[in-house]
Structure 1
């Protein structure tokens, strides 16, 4: 199949297995996790099998548009990380928060700030091109690797969380007790809203991206820990391992279609210069 013709993606609707448990560190925190997703063999294939979300721009990966910030903490993290970049490490270097971010709107009405794009049709200003001397891929991701920290410490929330979707809601049980419910599942096309169906390609549904040798709950341990806490993640990992040992009934159809794993799980390239061979998320 040619690079211009993305392979078929699996349907968005299929059986899933779920587990829920109380956070051992917080009796008011209920974790609800999608085992079908967390036991899948999805892995980031940026720079190799990734076809990008915009047709003809595979080199962008999922960075063809700016990333909206979730809150002030998210913005401040990027300010600190961007301050570490130089023209030698950031191809499209811009100085000053307002020069590398811009105002837009997620819902078409409420103003929201996001990372800027290099032009009216993108991609993100932090995306280095593959032939850039310091290495292709996300400049923030590469800087984190140079500094010896996990990329989630330097990148916008939406960038390091993808393709995990976390939803949090206070729920009320029949006896009147209230719990904070954290739901962990796949960030599929619908996670983007109606526009998600217009993406040229989306990796979570594509067998080409389900080629990891380890399940996601292992390769995404740092991200999952950040999302639900260290103690809750330890319990989640214990339950995932037990389910994997006993045999998952509702296997992710893209993992099943991919067949035998052939690529190491995980996202970070071995070095900043290897970013175009590893992940850009």
Structure 2
């Protein structure tokens, strides 16, 4: 697995969207997720690991094998025809949404605990995509997560003692937060995965403790989890587009977070769900199953337009005949 590297964020340092006037955004703004991965140096072009004379190079580590899970089915390629739609943001005349209908009408669904192979070999059943931990988009994101984590108990958070002080209070640095090799703040990793991840066999239930907290309290998981977690695998990016009449608009792209979204190291991931037929058997299309997340990313007015366009595509059958997602339609 390639180490994490610096990534470009889709917001300004002060947390506002990238506009010249820094007008407040009408809905939550978060950094592009997740933080891009560096490309692994393994392979023909990697440098020799032989040190001083007489020192043997370390043996290449074999990938662990998860004997409890079958091998992943082949993923589909990254380059295929996609159907896109553009429409003006009803809530902002300076903004245009560009949305990938192929992805948003696909049948992708999270299969964590139901066949997920994970981004690291041998850890799919336990980790899913939680192996790396979550980089906070900003201080507000970290504080929000901490405020919700404060309601967790040892009964529903397996690693409670790792994230709290002697009095059971949430601890940031050295508790729920660590610094990566670039000095960026993220959720702390314990035993090779995010400390909020309850491992299989835990009496309180496996999976993200913050996700479970939200469900118990009747909240949406996007309220309790780090921004990087609830956005995946939807990707939102920004681009300023110059028109021929010397005007410009902010293009907000809503699409699939495929392997390339992770950066060069994304190609080194053991498995990635958006390209896997095994994860494309959801009961609802993405635009329906991810309604809360898309509404948070686009605003309610923008989502309403998107949902109508997606529904039209599906009613016409073009989601199956015109640029369908190649991972759809597989009965695992």
Q: Which bin holds the TM-score, normalised by the shorter protein?
A: 0.7 to 0.9
Aligned to 1:154: 224
Aligned to 1:76: 143
Deviation (angstroms), 1:216: 0.5
Do the aligned residues in 1 keep the contact of 2:69 with 2:115 (CA within 8 Å)?
no
State how far apart, in whole Å, the 2-side matches of 1:28 and 1:141 are.
35
Larger radius of gyration: 2
Please report the RMSD computed on the Cα atoms of aligned residues, expressed in angstroms.
1.6
Aligned to 2:179: 103
Give the unaligned 5+ runs of structure 1: 263-281
Aligned to 1:190: 260
Deviation (angstroms), 1:69: 1.0
Matches within 5 A, 1:23-172: 23-58=89-124, 59-93=126-160, 94-95=163-164, 96-98=171-173, 99-105=175-181, 109=182, 111-119=183-191, 122-172=192-242
Aligned to 1:265: none
- Cα deviation, 1:198-217, whole Å, max 9, x if unaligned, reads 11111000000000121110
1:14 is the counterpart of 2:84? no
Count of residues paired in the alignment: 253
Richer in helix (by share): 1
Do the aligned residues in 2 keep the contact of 1:4 with 1:56 (CA within 8 Å)?
no
Do the aligned residues in 1 keep the contact of 2:84 with 2:102 (CA within 8 Å)?
yes
Deviation (angstroms), 1:2: 8.0
Deviation (angstroms), 1:3: 2.5
Deviation (angstroms), 1:176: 2.0
State how far apart, in whole Å, the 2-side matches of 1:171 and 1:77 are.
33
TM-score of the aligned structures, taking structure 2 as reference length: 0.74
State how far apart, in whole Å, the 1-side matches of 2:144 and 2:73 are.
37
Do the aligned residues in 2 keep the contact of 1:4 with 1:55 (CA within 8 Å)?
no
Higher relative contact order (CA 8 A, sep 6+): 1
Do the aligned residues in 2 keep the contact of 1:170 with 1:180 (CA within 8 Å)?
yes
In structure 1, the residue corresponding to 2:189 is in which secondary structure? coil
Do the aligned residues in 2 keep the contact of 1:163 with 1:204 (CA within 8 Å)?
yes
Give the unaligned 5+ runs of structure 2: 1-66, 165-170
